Amino acid sequence: MLDGPLSDGATHALEPRDLDRLIAALRGRGYRVIGPRLGEDAVVYDDIAGTADLPAGWGDEQEGGFYRLRRRDDGALFGYTLAPQSWKRVLHPPRQRIFALSTGAEEVEMAPADPPDAPMALIGVRACELAAIDIQAEVFAEIDPGYVRRRESSLVVAVECAESAATCFCASRGDGPAVTGGFDIRLVEVVRDGRHLFLARVGSVVGADILAGLTCPEADPADLAFAADRLGRVAASQTRALDDSAGRKLGDFALHARWDEVAGRCLACGNCTMVCPTCFCTSVEDTTDLAGTRVERWRHWDSCFTLDFSYLHGGAVRPGAASRYRQWITHKLATWHDQFGRSGCVGCGRCITWCPVGIDITEEVRAIVPDENER
Amino acid sequence: MADRKKLSLAVWKFSSCDGCQLTLLDCEDQLLAIAEHVHISHFLEATRRVENGPYDLSLVEGSVTTPREARAIRRIRRQSRRLAVIGACATTGGIQALRNFARLEDYIGAVYARPDYIDSLATATPITEHVPVDFELRGCPIDKGQLVELLSALLNDRRPNIPHYSQCIECKRTGAVCRMVATGTPCLGPVTQAGCGTLCPTHGRGCYGCFGPAETPNADSLAARFGAGGLGGRDIHRLFHSFNANAPAFREQGSPSDG
Ligand code: SF4
Ligand code: SF4
Ligand code: SF4
Ligand code: SF4
């Protein structure tokens, strides 16, 4: 929905009921509204109908291989950090039917394409997630019209982080925690002195139009100062970091002993690539009905951790976990630069949290690439 | 495709519970279509009419636990153009392979009034240890979607789409929140082959490993993770020692005596 920056720099203050009106306005405009809500033991992104669906008073705690919901005492609606899976789920769906063919009376017929889905409004997109969406938009720009259509028709309501998880390292990647662009509306949630506000800025004409319809007052400069100060503290609170120049050198260490060490722990389960908001790999599968009169071609999320992923004539090129783990982080941090002009990691930390054995990409890079300052 | 010949099918039972072969009858919506393209030559759960081989496809359920079974599977192999083993029993030995870790006489003595009537092998072994097989469908029981996929692939001369990667990949595609990471529930999914349709993780449970080891399972690392999470050797042993206890990757995990 991006249609150029806006000159109006004013920030408005929304109350929770205004946020509800915002969601209603989006629904009224025909958007399928997706935002955070309480799922099975985690805050997940799913369809929402209003603020009543938001995870009020829920936060989370994350570490390597560890996630727990935590109650908060401030009733914040966006007090969680990051959902288990990113917006990749809706912009680059895990299973897509590419086409279907049927044998008709005379000849083979292409089944009609599915009607395009309703445009989506994504509520609660974090800074690192916006960066990841930009990365995938670049990856898919020339090759996946479905992605381009879904991205371009989506409206983004970003929400800046009020705290980081222990697994976050967006600050060291330059991809957060500040939300600087790529949104239609940006919200900053402030709960203090008995008030609950959302400081709103617009980033597009559509965003401005929707916000204007709510007629909310301008924000109090004291609240803006509080939010700016807090954002600095969020960035400073991150204890993990991943230096981009170190990641880019991974290719020089293809025979490092650490690959075998990490392979001893790595389950080759693929969770890291599945939850990574930038990993884009898919495989294609053809199916038939029993009669052989209808075939369908499906595209699924795939991972460089499966054996079939590197199957060439006669066998898999990456038979063991060492070569598969090396492929994952070398692509993500080094060769991604050659392909797409930046790294494929935005520092969301999901691959750390959702790895069942807590393998930490920042720690692995430190163990493999010598620290420049120490040499 | 009117000129296509029907596929002649034989279904065989070895030591097992019948659950896997019943999956074929359980394919309600597809049953008529299956009957249209598959000719049932031998399937005692469905019909008493029995035809002699050779068969285009034999589906074999169960493990080998008696001398008679060890002979029968060779005969069936000779009569089958293609032979697919179905279920945990046929692919790894099944729950009855727990006997492989105990003394058979102790079991027989505890269960039967006349132990001398029992003529049984000391071990329960998968069909795959006795004859070459063309295909494996895992699970306890198998998944009917995978069964139809196998038949459809054979009928249409294509490779069946049966994954060998971990259950975790299916959890993530489905959107199930990880049981292990979000609740601390021990889960065999990272070392278990996908295929069940994410049954347990979408019902608040960890994966029990019905589908047996995934393509390159690192069960040592997962067991170490369970241990670090507070499980004792005996609990770890029990987790791995259920439907697929006899699978090489699961066999040695944990320790039966260590609390
Ligand atoms: S590599 Fe890990 S931290 Fe980086 S974007 Fe992917 S999931 Fe997030
Ligand atoms: S890291 Fe692996 S799954 Fe992710 S984009 Fe690269 S090759 Fe694909
Ligand atoms: S690094 Fe972790 S999440 Fe990724 S494949 Fe290995 S064990 Fe699974
Ligand atoms: S619930 Fe189990 S199978 Fe699913 S992702 Fe988590 S560890 Fe893997």
- pLDDT above 90: percentage of residues in chain B: 85
Mark whether B189 and B225 lie in a shared domain.
Answer: yes
**Sign of the dihedral through C-alpha A258, A259, A263, A269:** positive
- C-beta separation of A187 from A193 below 8 A: no
Mark whether B62 and B150 lie in a shared domain.
Answer: yes
pLDDT for the residue A373? 62
**Sign of the dihedral through C-alpha B173, B175, B176, B182:** positive
Domain that residue B200 falls in = 167-251
Mark whether B89 and B146 lie in a shared domain.
Answer: yes
Q: Is residue B33 assigned to a domain?
A: yes
pLDDT for the residue A320? 94
Mark whether B28 and B109 lie in a shared domain.
Answer: yes
- Please state the domain count of chain B: 2
Mark whether B199 and B117 lie in a shared domain.
Answer: no
> What is the whole-number distance in angstroms between the Cα of residue A80 and the centre of ligand 4?
22
Mark whether B144 and B70 lie in a shared domain.
Answer: yes
Mark whether B25 and B73 lie in a shared domain.
Answer: yes
| Global confidence as pTM | 0.95
Residues with Cβ within 8 Å of residue A276, at least 6 apart in sequence: A332, A344, A345, A348, A350, A351
pLDDT, tens only, B169-222: 999 999 999 999 999 999 999 999 999 999 999 999 999 999 999 999 999 999
**Sign of the dihedral through C-alpha A15, A20, A21, A25:** positive
d(CA A38, CA A56): 9
Locus of tokens 């070895």: B14
Residues with Cβ within 8 Å of residue A281, at least 6 apart in sequence: A273, A301, A302, A303, A304, A309
Looking at chain A, list the stretches that DSSP marks H as alpha helix, in order from N- to C-terminal side. Answer: 16-28, 88-91, 127-140, 145-153, 170-173, 205-212, 221-236, 244-248, 258-265, 271-275, 321-330, 336-340, 350-353, 361-368
Task: Give A71's DSSP letter.
Answer: E
Q: Is the pLDDT of residue A35 over 60?
A: yes
pLDDT higher for B259 or B82? B82
Chain A nearest-CA distance from B175, in A, is 8
Q: Is the pLDDT of residue B85 over 50?
A: yes
pLDDT, tens only, A302-337: 999 999 998 988 899 999 999 999 999 999 999 999
pLDDT, tens only, B87-102: 999 999 999 999 999 8
Mark whether B53 and B149 lie in a shared domain.
Answer: yes
Q: Is residue B25 assigned to a domain?
A: yes
Mark whether B150 and B190 lie in a shared domain.
Answer: no
Ligand 3 atom closest to Cα of residue B190 = 8
Chain A CB contacts of B33 under 8 Å are 289-291
pLDDT for the residue A218? 95
Q: Examine the fold and report which residue of B135, B155, B175 is the final residue of a domain before the chain moves on.
A: B155
Q: Examine the fold and report which residue of B155, B185, B201 is the final residue of a domain before the chain moves on.
A: B155
Instruction: Read off the CATH number of the domain in which B122 is found.
Output: 3.40.50.700
Q: Which residue of A has its CA nearest to B162?
A: A285
Q: Mean pLDDT for chain B?
A: 94
Mark whether B101 and B214 lie in a shared domain.
Answer: no
Q: Which helix (H) or strand (E) holds B148?
A: helix B144-155
Mark whether B42 and B126 lie in a shared domain.
Answer: yes
Looking at A141-197, list the stretches that DSSP marks H as alpha helix, in order from N- to C-terminal side. Answer: 145-153, 170-173
Q: Which of residues 200-259 of B touch A (CB under 8 A)?
A: 204, 215-218, 220-222, 225
Site to substitute for ligand 3 among A359, A361, A365, most atoms within 8 A of C-beta: A359
Q: Is the pLDDT of residue A7 over 70?
A: no
Residues with Cβ within 8 Å of residue A80, at least 6 apart in sequence: A36, A43, A55, A58, A59, A60
pLDDT, tens only, B103-155: 888 888 888 999 888 888 999 999 999 999 999 999 999 999 999 999 999 99
Mark whether B146 and B180 lie in a shared domain.
Answer: no
Q: Is residue B258 assigned to a domain?
A: no
A269 contact B CB<8A: yes
Q: Examine the fold and report which residue of B120, B155, B190 is the final residue of a domain before the chain moves on.
A: B155
Locus of tokens 């008493």: B48
